Amino acid sequence: MHYYPMVFKQATYHISKIIFIFWAVFCLGGCDRKPPLPPPVSPPETKQTIRLNGKVTAYETNPEGNIDRMTLDQGKQKSEIHFPPHLARQILDIAQLNTFVKLKVDQRDRGYELISLASEDGKNTFDTRGIPPPKPSPGKEIRIKGTVSGWIRSRQNETTGFVIGRKTVMLNPEESRILAPLLIKAKQVEVTALERDANDGTINTLQFPPVKVKEITIDSIVYKIR
C-alpha cells in the first residue's frame, strides 16, 4: 500500500520531463521561425481619360492581319491608339489615312485605348463603348488542295500561317511548331476550313483572305485542328 504514491509520483515526474523536452524542442526548432511572407501583389493598372488631336498616319494589325490600332501624329510626338478589330470598318469610315481627328482615349500603363473619335469638323462621330464583338458565325465550309505557296510570319520572324489556293491558313504557336516542318516537305496538302463572315466588322490586310482551319491532311495523314 505504501508503494503506490511513489509509483504515481515517479510516473508523474517522467511524464512532466517528457512534456518539457517536447516543449523545448518545439520552441528551439520553431519558435524563432517567422511566418512566410505573402507573395507580392501587383499594383492596380492606372487609367486616365484624356483627349488627343492629330493626323492619322498609319494603321497596324494583329498577328492575324486584322487592323486593331492607328498611329496618331500630334506634331511633337506620335501615339499608338488601340481598338477592337471588329470596330475597324466604322473607325476607318471617319479616320482615314492622312485625315485629322479628335480622339477620347483611356491612357493605361500599356498604352492608349480608344473610347470615341470625331472628324476634324465634328460632324462625324463614333463611340466604341457598348459594342460587343459579333457572335461567332460558322461560315461556309471549303476544301483546298495543293501545296504551300507562301508563309505568314510575325515581326519576330515566327511562322503564324501559310498560303494555299489563294487562302491564308492561320496557325497558333503549338500548331506551327508541329505542322510547319511537315508542311515544308509536303508533296500534297488538303485543308478543310470555314470562310470568315464578311460582315464581322474587321478589315484584314493579308493578300489572301484568312480561313478558320478544321482539318489539315499532309501526304495522306490527317491532323484535326481544335
**DSSP notation for 110-152:** TEEEEEEEEETTSSSEEE-TT-PPPPP----EEEEEE---EEE
Q: 56, 64 in Cβ contact below 8 A?
A: no
Distance CA 37, CA 117 (A): 47
Q: Are residues 104 and 147 in the same domain?
A: no
The CATH number covering residue 55 comes to 2.40.50.140
pLDDT of 73-123, one tens digit each? 999 999 999 999 999 999 999 999 999 999 999 998 778 999 999 999 999
Residues 119, 60 share a domain: yes
Domain presence at residue 42:
no
Supply the range of the domain harboring residue 120: 47-127
> What separation in angstroms does the CA of 160 have from each of 43, 157, 217?
33, 9, 18
Do 169 and 119 belong to one domain?
Answer: no
Domain assignment present for residue 38? The answer is: no
- Distance separating alpha carbons of residues 70 and 73, to the nearest angstrom: 10
Question: Total structural domains in the chain?
Answer: 2
Which amino acid is it at 65?
A: G
Higher-confidence residue of 99 and 139: namely 99
Please tell me whether residues 111 and 169 are part of one structural domain.
Answer: no
Domain edge (last residue) among 127, 162, 197: 127
Residues with Cβ < 8 Å from 217, sequence gap 6 or more?
188, 189, 190, 191, 223
Give a yes or no: residue 109 inside a domain: yes
pLDDT bracket for residue 135 (50, 70, 90) = confident
Q: Of 102, 127, 152, which marks where a domain is finished?
A: 127
157 with 213, same domain: the answer is yes
* Average pLDDT taken over every residue of the chain: 84
Same domain, yes or no: 116 and 179: no
Is position 10 within any domain? no
**Is residue 53 in a domain?**
yes
Please tell me the distance from the alpha carbon of residue 187 to that of residue 122, in angstroms, as a whole number. 57
Q: What is the pLDDT of residues 148-193, one digit of tens each?
A: 999 998 888 889 999 999 999 999 999 999 999 999 999 999 999 9
| Rounded Cα–Cα distance for residues 48 and 109 (Å) | 10
Same domain, 173 and 108: no
CB 224 within 8 A of CB 85: no
Distance CA 168, CA 75 (A): 38
Last residue within a domain, chosen from 100, 127, 154: 127
* pLDDT, tens digit, 9 for 90 and up, residues 17-64: 555 555 555 555 555 555 666 676 666 656 799 999 999 999 999 888
Which residue, chain included where needed, has cell 458565325? 137
**Is position 99 within any domain?**
yes
Domain match, 151 and 210 both: yes
Asked if residue 21 is part of any domain, the answer here is no
Q: How many CB atoms lie within 10 A of CB 104?
A: 16
Indicate whether 206 belongs to any domain.
yes
* 106 and 59 assigned to the same domain: yes
Q: Are 116 and 73 members of one domain? A: yes
Tell me: pLDDT of 1 over 70. Answer: no
pTM for the model stands at 0.69
CA-angle at 142, arms to 145 and 152, nearest 5°: 65
pLDDT at position 29 = 53
Clarify whether residues 119 and 157 are in a common domain: no
Residue 212 sits in the same domain as residue 178: yes
C-alpha cell recorded at residue 76: 511633337
